[in-house]
Amino acid sequence: MVIMGFEKSFGPLWRQWREEFPVTENLIYLNHAAVTPLPRRTARAMQGLAEDALQFGSLHYDRWLDAYEGLRVAAARLIGADRGEIAMVKNTSEGISTVAQGLRWHPGDRIVAFREEFPSNYYPWLRLEAQGCSVDWLSANDPLEKIEIACRGAKLLSISFVQYLSGFRADLNAIGAICRRNDCFFFVDAIQGLGGFPLDVEAAHIDALAADGHKWLLGPEGCGILYVRKSRQDSIFPEEFGWTNVAGYNDYASRDMALRPDAGRYECGTLNTIGCYGLRASIELLLEVGVSQVAPAVQSLADQLAAGAIDKGYQLLGDRTPENGAGIVALQKPGLDSRKVVHDLKQKGVIAAPRQGWVRFSPHFYISPEEIDRVIEALP
């Protein structure tokens, strides 16, 4: 929540945090839906660990353990969970696969999923058809009434917080309520929304969630989080199994395979330590800024870009509203090749992405409205 007089005293949000993002000295970076530039403190955290390992090896291993715990705590705070419900994974795909492969499926089980999903939230559910399961494929734009009907008798529903191409933001609280009423496991691929928009796993009745760090969470590649509700952990077995899945993992002579009592049971072996340093710093930055302040800034920048492009003859993918809009804007213009548009913008220092015939923009909160105006002016 913005404190009265905050902008007057300290300036707009983007200006307050601009120094954390040196990329702004080189580019107008509107590609956070792909790979984010690192904040200054994130890069320094990772550089600090690299230098320490260079000079001292594992002498300060206790600090590594502190970083793991710090990431669990920060991620839990971000989504309203308990630290024991957070596991570190290498990416969203690993998190989704952990749930898809770890649940016990039976012939006739039914899954509700969505056609527009990124492949990582599509293939794992489709693959279960080989085990006799069936998938009801809906559209992310379908009304809640249709989702409710599909959920009746379904074992699991999986949806992205924000769709990777259109930028459609799902009403997680409403869908979670539907799943709860129908005793349907609720899984969320959160990578395209977490860090940009508030998410509360309790309010949304989310059973499991995965998100990589290298998009809206402002973190490095190769490090993400998996949330599994405590009451669901015994129903999801870690199919990927190594020495750290078990409760007594510090006792190398033990052969007791009892699982860890928390979400750490889904961590198979040595963690991406330098990634954990970076992602912890990035999430703590977002907590400091406040996602409740980040969200309206991201929404406003994306709205500004969409409106300006439409005025120049571009078509917007989807119907953008205050309720479903997010940080992703996909545009195209008849007669223009999206790849050439992205290439030409790159020559002007503007970074976007070509996606399936569309030009996809994705600004984060530290981008200024003036920069958005410059991008609109640069559009052919």
Query: Mean of the per-residue pLDDT values for the chain?
Result: 96
Give me the pLDDT at residue 222, please: 97
CA distance 164 to 111: 21
Segment 135-147 mean pLDDT: 98
- Pick left, alpha or beta for residue 314 (phi over 0 → left; psi -120 to 50 → alpha; otherwise beta): beta
Segment 340-349 mean pLDDT: 98
The pair of structure tokens assigned to 174 is 């409403």
pLDDT tens sequence across 97-130: 999 999 999 999 999 999 999 999 999 999 999 9
The pair of structure tokens assigned to 363 is 């600004």
pLDDT higher than threshold 60 for residue 159: yes
Looking at the chain, the number of H-run helices and the number of E-run strands are: 12, 13
CA distance 352 to 30: 5
CA distance 121 to 93: 7
Best CA proximity match to 146, nearest among 175, 108, 117, 121: 175
pLDDT higher than threshold 90 for residue 95: yes
Segment 21-42 mean pLDDT: 98
DSSP 370: H
Contacts of 56 (CB under 8 A, 6+ apart): none
Give me the pLDDT at residue 10, please: 73
Give me the pLDDT at residue 8, please: 43
Give me the pLDDT at residue 2, please: 36
Give me the pLDDT at residue 31, please: 98
The pair of structure tokens assigned to 251 is 């006792």
pLDDT tens sequence across 200-233: 999 999 999 999 999 999 999 999 999 999 999 9
Q: How many residues does the chain have?
A: 380
Global confidence as pTM: 0.95
pLDDT tens sequence across 292-337: 999 999 999 999 999 999 999 999 999 999 999 999 999 999 999 9
Segment 271-275 mean pLDDT: 98
Give me the pLDDT at residue 33, please: 98
More confident residue, 11 or 37: 37
pLDDT higher than threshold 70 for residue 93: yes
99 and 236 Cβ atoms separated by less than 8 Å: yes
Segment 57-83 mean pLDDT: 97
228 and 99 Cβ atoms separated by less than 8 Å: yes
